[in-house]
Structure 1
Amino acid sequence: MLIIPAENAINWKRPPWVTLGLMMACVMVFLFYQGADDRKLDAAIEQYLDGNLLALEAPAYEDYLQREIRFEGDQQSVLELQEFQALREQDEQGWQAVTLLFDRDYYQYLQDNRDLIWSVAERNQWSEQRGAIEEQWISRMSAFQLGLVPSDLSLYTLITYQFLHGGWGHIIGNLLFLFLLGFTVERALGPGKFLVAYLVCGALSGLVFTGFSMGSQIPLVGASGSISGLMGMYVAIYGLQKIRFFYFLGVYFNYFRAPAIAMLPVWLGKEIYDYWFAGATGIAYMAHAGGLLAGAALVWLLGKSWLQVKEEFFEPEPEQQDEQFTRGYAQAMASVGRMEFDLARRQFEALRENYPDRTVLLEHLYQLAKLRPDLPEYRDLARTLMADAMNRRQPEQMLDVWNEYLSKGEAHHPLAVEDHNRVLFTSLKNHDLKAAEKAFERMRLKAEPDMVQEACRLLLAEFEKLQMEPKARHYRQLLRG
Structure 2
Amino acid sequence: MLIIPAENSVNWKRPPWVTLSLIMACLLVFLFYQGGDDQKLESALEQYIDSGLLKLEAPAYEDYLQREIRFEGDQQSVLDLQEFQQLREQDNKLWQAVTLLMDREYYQYLQDNTDIIWAPAERRHWVEARADIEGRWISQMSAFQLGLVPAELSLYTLISYQFLHGGWGHIIGNLLFLFLLGFTVERALGPGRFLVAYLVCGALSGLVFTAFSSGSQIPLVGASGSISGLMGMYVAIYGLQKIRFFYFLGVYFNYFRAPAIAMLPVWLGKEIYDYWFAGATGVAYMAHAGGLVAGAGLVWLLGKSWLQVKEEFYEPEPDEQDARFTSGYAQAMASLGRMEFDLARRQFEALREHYPERSILLEHLYQIAKLRPDLPAYRDLTTELLSDALTRRQPEQLVAVWQEYLSKGEAHHPLAAEDHNRVLFASLKNNDLKAAEKAFERMRTRAEPEMLYEACQLMVSEFDKLQMEPKARHYRQLLQGLN
Is the structural similarity TM-score above 0.5?
yes
**1:157, distance to aligned residue in structure 2 (A):** 1.5
Counterpart CA distance in 2 for 1:180 and 1:423 is 54
Residue matched to 1:423: 423
For the structure 1 residues 175 and 440, does the alpha-carbon distance in structure 2 shift closer, same or farther, using more than 3 Å as the test?
Answer: same
For the structure 1 residues 401 and 64, does the alpha-carbon distance in structure 2 shift closer, same or farther, using more than 3 Å as the test?
Answer: same
**1:10, distance to aligned residue in structure 2 (A):** 2.0
Residue matched to 2:377: 377
Residue matched to 1:413: 413
**1:356, distance to aligned residue in structure 2 (A):** 1.3
Question: Which moves more between the two structures, 179-188 or 233-242?
Answer: 179-188
2:262 maps to 1:254: no
2:74 counterpart letter in structure 1: D
Counterpart CA distance in 2 for 1:261 and 1:408 is 58
2:112 maps to 1:137: no
1:58 counterpart letter in structure 2: A
1:208 counterpart letter in structure 2: V
Question: Which moves more between the two structures, 417-426 or 350-359?
Answer: 417-426
Q: What do residues 223-259 of structure 1 show as CA deviations (whole Å, max 9, x unaligned)?
A: 1011111111111111101111111222322221111
1:252 counterpart letter in structure 2: Y
For the structure 1 residues 449 and 112, does the alpha-carbon distance in structure 2 shift closer, same or farther, using more than 3 Å as the test?
Answer: closer
Q: What do residues 400-434 of structure 1 show as CA deviations (whole Å, max 9, x unaligned)?
A: 11111111111111112222222122222212222
Residue matched to 1:148: 148
For the structure 1 residues 139 and 408, does the alpha-carbon distance in structure 2 shift closer, same or farther, using more than 3 Å as the test?
Answer: same
The 3-state SS of whatever aligns with 2:245 is strand
Residue matched to 2:187: 187
Counterpart CA distance in 2 for 1:444 and 1:120 is 116
For the structure 1 residues 111 and 476, does the alpha-carbon distance in structure 2 shift closer, same or farther, using more than 3 Å as the test?
Answer: closer
**1:314, distance to aligned residue in structure 2 (A):** 1.4
* 1:191-270 correspondence to structure 2 within 5 Å: 191-270=191-270
For the structure 1 residues 402 and 62, does the alpha-carbon distance in structure 2 shift closer, same or farther, using more than 3 Å as the test?
Answer: same
Question: Which moves more between the two structures, 132-141 or 401-410?
Answer: 132-141
Counterpart CA distance in 2 for 1:177 and 1:440 is 67
**1:469, distance to aligned residue in structure 2 (A):** 6.4
**1:39, distance to aligned residue in structure 2 (A):** 2.0
Residue matched to 2:291: 291
Counterpart CA distance in 1 for 2:459 and 2:157 is 80
Counterpart CA distance in 2 for 1:350 and 1:35 is 59
CA RMSD between the two structures: 2.1
Compute the TM-score of the two structures, normalised by the length of structure 1. Answer: 0.94
Q: What do residues 382-411 of structure 1 show as CA deviations (whole Å, max 9, x unaligned)?
A: 011011101100111111111111111111
Counterpart CA distance in 1 for 2:59 and 2:245 is 51
* 1:45-84 correspondence to structure 2 within 5 Å: 45-84=45-84
For the structure 1 residues 39 and 419, does the alpha-carbon distance in structure 2 shift closer, same or farther, using more than 3 Å as the test?
Answer: same
2:253 counterpart letter in structure 1: F
Residue matched to 1:275: 275
**1:97, distance to aligned residue in structure 2 (A):** 0.6
Question: Which moves more between the two structures, 357-366 or 343-352?
Answer: 343-352
For the structure 1 residues 463 and 110, does the alpha-carbon distance in structure 2 shift closer, same or farther, using more than 3 Å as the test?
Answer: closer
Compute the TM-score of the two structures, normalised by the length of structure 2. Answer: 0.93
The 3-state SS of whatever aligns with 1:121 is helix
Counterpart CA distance in 2 for 1:303 and 1:469 is 70
**1:146, distance to aligned residue in structure 2 (A):** 1.4
Residue matched to 2:117: 117
The 3-state SS of whatever aligns with 2:253 is strand
**1:446, distance to aligned residue in structure 2 (A):** 3.6
Structure 2 portions without partners, runs of 5+: none
4+ runs deviating over 6 angstroms: none
Counterpart CA distance in 1 for 2:448 and 2:210 is 83
Residue matched to 2:335: 335
Structure 1 portions without partners, runs of 5+: none
The 3-state SS of whatever aligns with 1:217 is coil
Counterpart CA distance in 1 for 2:148 and 2:330 is 59
**1:120, distance to aligned residue in structure 2 (A):** 2.3
Residue matched to 1:127: 127
Counterpart CA distance in 2 for 1:475 and 1:29 is 79
Question: Which moves more between the two structures, 316-325 or 468-477?
Answer: 468-477
**1:210, distance to aligned residue in structure 2 (A):** 1.3
The 3-state SS of whatever aligns with 2:273 is helix
* 1:326-365 correspondence to structure 2 within 5 Å: 326-365=326-365
**1:461, distance to aligned residue in structure 2 (A):** 5.1
Identity, % of aligned pairs?
A: 83
Question: Which moves more between the two structures, 192-201 or 254-263?
Answer: 192-201
**1:162, distance to aligned residue in structure 2 (A):** 1.1
The 3-state SS of whatever aligns with 1:160 is helix
Residue matched to 1:438: 438
* 1:386-405 correspondence to structure 2 within 5 Å: 386-405=386-405
Counterpart CA distance in 2 for 1:470 and 1:184 is 69
